[in-house]
Structure 1
């Protein structure tokens, strides 16, 4: 495999994948957090209107349920953790790419082999992190 094939095929593809996944996880995290914050902030407002009304009690119950559901789904999906992990991996891969392309330490001699070793190590460690997160999710679901 040539340097260009590796950089364009493997490295750039991985950077794009981690970037996309990071943005998706961030978007999901922000949506759940926004819904949770709005619902939680509406509870005291609605409660202050009329406490004797059955409709108000139903609305408060629904809002409370939305808060619990959004918080639980965000934790279950680990969107915040995934967002941060994917973004970190994406930035590490970009860093390696630009160090290599500019022949900066440790790539002063354009060591393609070193680039491959470092990039694959980053990807491999991310795969190990993903495996651990998946195992934690599975154990969390079993314990419920």
Structure 2
């Protein structure tokens, strides 16, 4: 990821308490996205490797079906953990939320989009409203996902 450009058309007001919240939320979503992505890739990689080993193990000693059977069961268990954790879905949702918040940050810093021609007070209020609306929408979607997957542990 390229480094962030710290030079902007509009500086962040020193008393703007919304900006640190925005930065914290971007960092949180970014970290959660990376964690979910790593877990997803780790579980899927193990599944692929183990699934590929099943026919090889079967050829080595066809009389011992217990080893390929155990490997098949392990693939199923790993898939279950991946599904319970919703790592792929969470990775994508967290990344999407992170990037939407970054987009909002850059619009705010540049004084463009909805922040064009707005005074400092209006820009600050508008930033708070828009960021909180994004976070609220993501939370609402998370609750709906949890309700649809009754019994699954919520991922925070």
TM-score normalized with structure 1 length? 0.87
User: Which one of the candidate residues 78, 100, 118 is aligned to 2:130?
Assistant: 118
User: Which one of the candidate residues 117, 136, 144 is aligned to 2:148?
Assistant: 136
Structure 1 segments unaligned to the other structure (5+ residues): none
Deviation at 1:59, TM superposition (A): 1.6
User: Which one of the candidate residues 88, 92, 100 is aligned to 2:100?
Assistant: 92
Deviation at 1:58, TM superposition (A): 2.1
Higher relative contact order (CA 8 A, sep 6+): 2
Question: Displaced runs of 4+ in structure 1, greater than 4 A?
Answer: none
TM-score normalized with structure 2 length? 0.81
Aligned residues: 136
Structure 2 segments unaligned to the other structure (5+ residues): 1-13
Residues in 2 aligned to 1:129 and 1:109: alpha-carbon distance in whole angstroms:
33
| 1:108 matched residue in structure 2 | 116
| 2:9 matched residue in structure 1 | none
| 1:50 matched residue in structure 2 | 61
Determine helix, strand or coil for the equivalent of 1:47. Answer: helix
Give the structure with the larger helix fraction.
1
Q: How big is the alpha-carbon RMSD for the aligned residues of Structure 1 and Structure 2?
A: 1.7
